[in-house]
Chain A
């Protein structure tokens, strides 16, 4: 009896372990795509680069893809016709080299984009949940449940038949124990529940304080899609701190007024009607007038309202903070934007498509560390790195193709925690 329980438990553990290991071993195509490719490529739409879904079927060979991703300029320079055609077709925009991506990584990315299906609804789901329904998930569940039911029925049938056979042959039947009193089953269920609860609690604890996909309502319905996506306002125009300071800076109303003194209505209603995540329609012009309230602007007189001292009667806007790091984390925007030349979208996602901003990245330490492992520093172009003579020599000798943030100590605790 106990041996049986032990054996069952062992099997369950083994299954769990194997499934865990396989989860660890296989590269996560989605994560790789989002951290490396998403700033230029969309799976189904042409962006800076072509849409990637099924793009591999157009390529000459698998090896060609690896070479292209690792160093596209070398492939172009080699005179490869396909490469040069592609290069010319895309206005000679060169693709960033990703030498750190292994062949498995690239395969994982390709299989991810090939299996990519656009989300059913264009507007994100309410309550911060933007989980994309996986169409075959339900199917699998139903099949699994049906199979389980089948197993149960067969088992019962088998058992009943055996009992009947036993009766016929006159062999004494074992006393029937109901399922819920079967010690093996109780033990297995208890262990499974215990493991599940533990898994759930640990995950819950790890995710405490994280708020990926958080998409609160803001005091003004400010659409990044309208400003950045359609009107192509440079991020740094408003978030001027991103290149200078640790804070990217939310602009003060007077920055908004630089443009909105002239622009006092929303004219894009037809091309781009504004909806909240809950599907409520938003009047863009009314939102601009909310800004005027905060900025102390009188749209009738086209002048600021001033108090007795001649000071503009502006009020700060209390935005709801979306991207929040714990107090013990030091993050500096200028280090990433100015020095690291990282695109805003790398962490903030397709901000140019968001009417309401949501938190794209998990902002977890694992996510930071992963990027620090994979991202190359501007080793050759920034003279700061001239002090790393060892790496320069290794590059010269061909032992090394690039230097990642990790190589220069970017995973050390006190880069971010002090």
Chain B
């Protein structure tokens, strides 16, 4: 049996004694009571026993208090016509955060938004969402939001602020007024900004993106004469080369790209074709994990890689870089020349982007995979404008700064200078939703609505509009940013009216307007127009500039986490804080990512520390001109050995919120450090890397990493093949399965049965194994038999499903202290497996596997429950009944997939006992009455002492069945969808009724993807209702199949 070598972390690979001990301790901590000899041997005299009995009976009686509370049932005073209590309403809207765009549908229950779904009608995002979009509903109920306007840090009224602002704007005609915003996608907002700038003639609008794409915008302007970003079509690309662009995680529009990318990589036995993806990166991103060929280089070498690729494409020149890079570049160049190629780069350097443009021009990408007919508006900031504004402020020549959507005091590379400049400006206004670092330094704060409370629109791509309608009336005394501008521009209209007029005029009639509002999008019909562009950039000059680029021994990369992004309100989102980072699997902190080799060089015991112990050594990262950055070291296989990477979005001010704060009220250090000060400005654009040195200190700091919390103890759970292997013999996996199961598909006395296995189809194999592999009786599924299929080839590990599940199912946030104790509650986790040689970052291949309750038809958890609190339904669901559970945890012990979660403490105040709620400061916002409005009323909030796990979103299934019954027909395929399935940007999850032969699930499992179908730990006869589709990598070698198969040798 060709076992492969996958490991969740270095500790698993090295399998030290400490790791084995950790694995043996299922619940990772001693029991909370004394188990010493003296206690166990103690005798209880009869009188004591009676005393205890009497006391506990009395205590229970008193605690339960036999009095029934008087409850009230309060209907509406005047019921809104379109609300039926208990029935959700859905509103199409638009998510937009400084250029991060998504067309969404807001689910509201009894007037409050509780869940965000993707809008499938949008041809831009096509229903895709990201973890942040899923988590955005929690930002609405953030307790740190400002509840009224502020003047000089004190509560004020809008009337007073309006009067003062208008006076100051009018009285200061000599000095220019600056409006500083993030990238604005809204056409109406842009109109209002121009009205405002027209009113104050020397007013200027500066667009600033904390994570900037200026380099691309400027390079495109020089190359194509357009200061714009093109539309990318990853689905049309046969060859994708990414030079440091994390386009599946954080680059430009990851949800949109993930959707396209997955479309180009859906491989089946009948259609064994997929795109080929080359990734060159400095650190390890999820895009690198999905790539077919991956090599690493220092960030300063990205330009050189682009140049080498250009030379290889144009002249066929052999590059002279690292061996893996050399071969990757030559292969990529050859593939790119075949046509339908695409090169993208995450660099913010104009020269690098110019060379990338030149390559795309040479390979004919423009017009085939890169579309210049429809440009993207996601980012518009020009870094030099921001730098000029800071200079002008410091020179005292700025009359007013109005800041919306950005937070330069935190995000700007030289934030000290910005803050000093801001102090010299007479009128400073912030529209921030919370007292963030910049708002604190502004004279006035007129908080903007949350996006779920406001009207608006967006034009993510030229000609492709999407409307934004509120899901709830503003919770606080906030005012739309546009209303403030209109007011100060002296206009009498409100933004709501302006917006409505604008769109009514544009749509022509009430009917069209209503329709547009209902579907949420206004788009040209038909396929998106494609168009190229003529390249006119100066490649030679760009190459010269790249060559002049200095590199240093160790370089610091400042990156965005998939969950936290650029910072902003996300830093204070407990869901996103507790979402394990897809690669490091760390929560609640930022840290210094280094390669295993570098970690070893920093001190031999460092790797020992990083194996099992949660206390990580703190490293001192020195960058010239900046204070030393002290962060714990997290070892990440696949990082370049000379790179250290630190995420932004941490080290926030206390007023940003409790989850974000870098220190709590007592001054205890929490929540990481700010990495923005370590970015630089190169005279033209911001750079997100820097020369650095790193050294070890003796300090330690706990990092809550979930990667090896739930171990399979080396049992093989991932199946992976090269495209070549798979296309040569699509049944390669089926043969492996037959080999594993052949002894169990027939009864021992049946003759010649084992020989018959060879001829069995996958379906027959499963059927025979199901019947003959057990002594237990079979479950009948007379009506519906739910099942799920997860495609490992499509999954990019982005974590949208984890957060969608959390939002849908009221999954608790436990806080860092308890993640450290392996108490995290996520029903759906994404397991991340490395393979390859940790010492060689270029050899690392990474696979993601979403893991949730497998709803086994022969479930090991069910028959160990002493109170039958977990049992099986006739629809194939492994049911968990909270009110029956007594918390023995036997089921979690016996679950081979480790998907059951125990409520160790009262996370939500769901217990009937008062004062039992767990509090740890950072997650406490979750239990505020405001934040609790996000809870889904259809799902029980679990109390302390019960087990919980994935329910297949049974509330959605029941709802779909009920809707079908009311319509007098069976449930149609696709009507019942789980939250994870709906959120997935790559459609990796298929869910449906296996009894329905027309369902997508049946077709996937039995017809189209029968060859790739497998079940995790199938041979133990748990009969899961969740199957996986094997990963197929378009590469020459799956490194996990190497000869030095340490784990396989040990455990087989």
> Residues of A at under 8 Å CB distance from B?
201, 204, 208-209, 211, 214, 216, 240-241, 244-247, 249-255, 294, 296, 312, 314-321, 324, 326-328, 330, 332, 334-335, 338-339, 381-391, 408-409, 412-415, 417-418
Interface string of B836-863 (1 = CB under 8 A from A): 0000000000000000000000000000
B548 within 8 A of A: no
Do B68 and A209 touch (CB < 8 A)?
yes
Do A244 and B76 touch (CB < 8 A)?
no
The residues in B between 905 and 948 inclusive whose CB is less than 8 angstroms from any CB of A are: 910, 938-941
B595 within 8 A of A: no
Do A408 and B938 touch (CB < 8 A)?
no
Residue in B77, B910, B996 with the greatest tally of chain A CB atoms within 10 Å = B77
The residues in B between 543 and 577 inclusive whose CB is less than 8 angstroms from any CB of A are: none
Could you tell me the distance in whole angstroms from the C-beta of A280 to the nearest C-beta in chain B? 20
Q: Which of A254, A317, A390 contacts B79 (CB 8 A)?
A: A254
Do A408 and B74 touch (CB < 8 A)?
no
- What is the number of residues of chain B that contact chain A, defined by CB distance less than 8 Å? 52
CB neighbours of B72 from chain A (8 A): 318-321
Do A417 and B962 touch (CB < 8 A)?
no
Could you tell me the distance in whole angstroms from the C-beta of B216 to the nearest C-beta in chain A? 48
Do B74 and A417 touch (CB < 8 A)?
no
Report the separation of the CA atoms of residues A314 and B955 in the bound assembly, to the nearest whole angstrom.
35
Do A319 and B966 touch (CB < 8 A)?
no
Do B965 and A253 touch (CB < 8 A)?
no
CB neighbours of A252 from chain B (8 A): 75-79
Report the separation of the CA atoms of residues A324 and B996 in the bound assembly, to the nearest whole angstrom.
38
Do A314 and B873 touch (CB < 8 A)?
no
Report the separation of the CA atoms of residues A204 and B66 in the bound assembly, to the nearest whole angstrom.
9
Interface stretch (choices B224-232, B880-888, B984-992): B880-888
Interface string of B361-375 (1 = CB under 8 A from A): 000000000000000
B534 within 8 A of A: no
Q: Which of A209, A244, A383, A409 contacts B873 (CB 8 A)?
A: A409
Q: Which of A241, A312, A417 contacts B882 (CB 8 A)?
A: A417
Do B968 and A383 touch (CB < 8 A)?
yes
Report the separation of the CA atoms of residues A18 and B359 in the bound assembly, to the nearest whole angstrom.
92
Do A382 and B84 touch (CB < 8 A)?
no
B958 within 8 A of A: yes
Do B874 and A241 touch (CB < 8 A)?
no
Could you tell me the distance in whole angstroms from the C-beta of A351 to the nearest C-beta in chain B? 16
Prevailing SS type, chain A contact patch: loop
B50 within 8 A of A: no
18 more CB-based (< 8 A) A-B contacts, given A330-B955, A335-B965, A339-B965? A204-B66, A245-B87, A247-B85, A249-B85, A252-B78, A294-B77, A296-B77, A312-B78, A316-B75, A318-B74, A319-B72, A326-B883, A384-B970, A384-B971, A409-B875, A413-B871, A414-B879, A418-B938
Could you tell me the distance in whole angstroms from the C-beta of A219 to the nearest C-beta in chain B? 10
Report the separation of the CA atoms of residues A327 and B937 in the bound assembly, to the nearest whole angstrom.
10
Closest B residue, CB atoms, query A313: B77
The residues in B between 30 and 74 inclusive whose CB is less than 8 angstroms from any CB of A are: 57, 64, 66, 68, 70-74
CB neighbours of B958 from chain A (8 A): 330, 332, 415, 418
Closest B residue, CB atoms, query A316: B77
Do A382 and B940 touch (CB < 8 A)?
no
Could you tell me the distance in whole angstroms from the C-beta of B150 to the nearest C-beta in chain A? 26
Do B874 and A314 touch (CB < 8 A)?
no
Contact A409 B874, CB 8 Å, known A320-B71, A417-B940: yes
Closest A residue, CB atoms, query B878: A414
Do B77 and A315 touch (CB < 8 A)?
yes
Closest B residue, CB atoms, query A201: B57
Q: Which of B70, B951, B996 contacts A418 (CB 8 A)?
A: B951
Do B968 and A382 touch (CB < 8 A)?
yes
Do A413 and B86 touch (CB < 8 A)?
no
B623 within 8 A of A: no
CB neighbours of A381 from chain B (8 A): 968
CB neighbours of B73 from chain A (8 A): 250, 318-321
Do A249 and B879 touch (CB < 8 A)?
no
The residues in B between 957 and 978 inclusive whose CB is less than 8 angstroms from any CB of A are: 958, 961-962, 964-966, 968-971
Could you tell me the distance in whole angstroms from the C-beta of B352 to the nearest C-beta in chain A? 52
CB neighbours of A314 from chain B (8 A): 77-78
Report the separation of the CA atoms of residues A382 and B85 in the bound assembly, to the nearest whole angstrom.
26
Do B970 and A335 touch (CB < 8 A)?
no
CB neighbours of A389 from chain B (8 A): 782
B491 within 8 A of A: no
CB neighbours of B995 from chain A (8 A): 387
Report the separation of the CA atoms of residues A214 and B971 in the bound assembly, to the nearest whole angstrom.
40
B877 within 8 A of A: yes
Closest B residue, CB atoms, query A219: B72
Do A414 and B84 touch (CB < 8 A)?
no
Q: Which of B86, B871, B951, B962 contacts A339 (CB 8 A)?
A: B962
B316 within 8 A of A: no
Do B86 and A247 touch (CB < 8 A)?
yes
Report the separation of the CA atoms of residues A412 and B910 in the bound assembly, to the nearest whole angstrom.
24
Do A328 and B883 touch (CB < 8 A)?
yes
CB neighbours of A330 from chain B (8 A): 938, 955, 958
Do A327 and B939 touch (CB < 8 A)?
no
Q: Which of B74, B873, B969 contacts A317 (CB 8 A)?
A: B74
B784 within 8 A of A: yes
Report the separation of the CA atoms of residues A320 and B910 in the bound assembly, to the nearest whole angstrom.
23
Closest B residue, CB atoms, query A240: B84
Could you tell me the distance in whole angstroms from the C-beta of A101 to the nearest C-beta in chain B? 25
The residues in B between 159 and 215 inclusive whose CB is less than 8 angstroms from any CB of A are: none
Q: Which of B71, B782, B966, B970 contacts A391 (CB 8 A)?
A: B782
Do A334 and B871 touch (CB < 8 A)?
no
Closest B residue, CB atoms, query A378: B965
Report the separation of the CA atoms of residues A241 and B910 in the bound assembly, to the nearest whole angstrom.
28
B496 within 8 A of A: no
Could you tell me the distance in whole angstroms from the C-beta of B1023 to the nearest C-beta in chain A? 18
Q: Which of A241, A383, A412 contacts B969 (CB 8 A)?
A: A383
Contact A320 B70, CB 8 Å, known A327-B941, A328-B883, A413-B881: yes
Closest B residue, CB atoms, query A384: B965
Do B966 and A339 touch (CB < 8 A)?
yes
Contact A382 B954, CB 8 Å, known A204-B66, A216-B70, A321-B73: no
Do A319 and B74 touch (CB < 8 A)?
yes
CB neighbours of A326 from chain B (8 A): 883
CB neighbours of A383 from chain B (8 A): 968-970
Report the separation of the CA atoms of residues A327 and B784 in the bound assembly, to the nearest whole angstrom.
27
Report the separation of the CA atoms of residues A414 and B873 in the bound assembly, to the nearest whole angstrom.
8
The residues in B between 869 and 904 inclusive whose CB is less than 8 angstroms from any CB of A are: 871, 873-875, 877, 879-884
B783 within 8 A of A: yes
Could you tell me the distance in whole angstroms from the C-beta of B420 to the nearest C-beta in chain A? 46
Do A244 and B87 touch (CB < 8 A)?
yes
Could you tell me the distance in whole angstroms from the C-beta of A255 to the nearest C-beta in chain B? 7
Residue in A211, A294, A317 with the greatest tally of chain B CB atoms within 10 Å = A317
Report the separation of the CA atoms of residues A333 and B54 in the bound assembly, to the nearest whole angstrom.
43
CB neighbours of B68 from chain A (8 A): 209, 211, 214
Contact A244 B782, CB 8 Å, known A211-B68, A383-B969: no
CB neighbours of A249 from chain B (8 A): 75, 84-86
* Complex A-B, nearest 10 residue pairs according to Cβ-Cβ distance, in ascending order: A245-B86, A314-B77, A321-B71, A321-B73, A252-B76, A247-B86, A252-B79, A414-B879, A409-B874, A250-B75
Report the separation of the CA atoms of residues A201 and B61 in the bound assembly, to the nearest whole angstrom.
10
Do A253 and B77 touch (CB < 8 A)?
yes
Q: Which of B57, B85, B965 contacts A241 (CB 8 A)?
A: B85
Report the separation of the CA atoms of residues A404 and B260 in the bound assembly, to the nearest whole angstrom.
48
The residues in B between 385 and 438 inclusive whose CB is less than 8 angstroms from any CB of A are: none
Could you tell me the distance in whole angstroms from the C-beta of B857 to the nearest C-beta in chain A? 14
Report the separation of the CA atoms of residues A415 and B86 in the bound assembly, to the nearest whole angstrom.
17
| 29 pairs from A and B in contact (CB 8 Å cutoff) | A201-B57, A208-B64, A208-B66, A244-B84, A244-B87, A245-B86, A249-B84, A249-B86, A255-B79, A314-B78, A315-B77, A316-B75, A319-B72, A319-B75, A321-B71, A326-B883, A327-B941, A328-B882, A383-B970, A387-B784, A389-B782, A408-B783, A412-B879, A413-B873, A414-B881, A414-B951, A415-B958, A418-B938, A418-B939
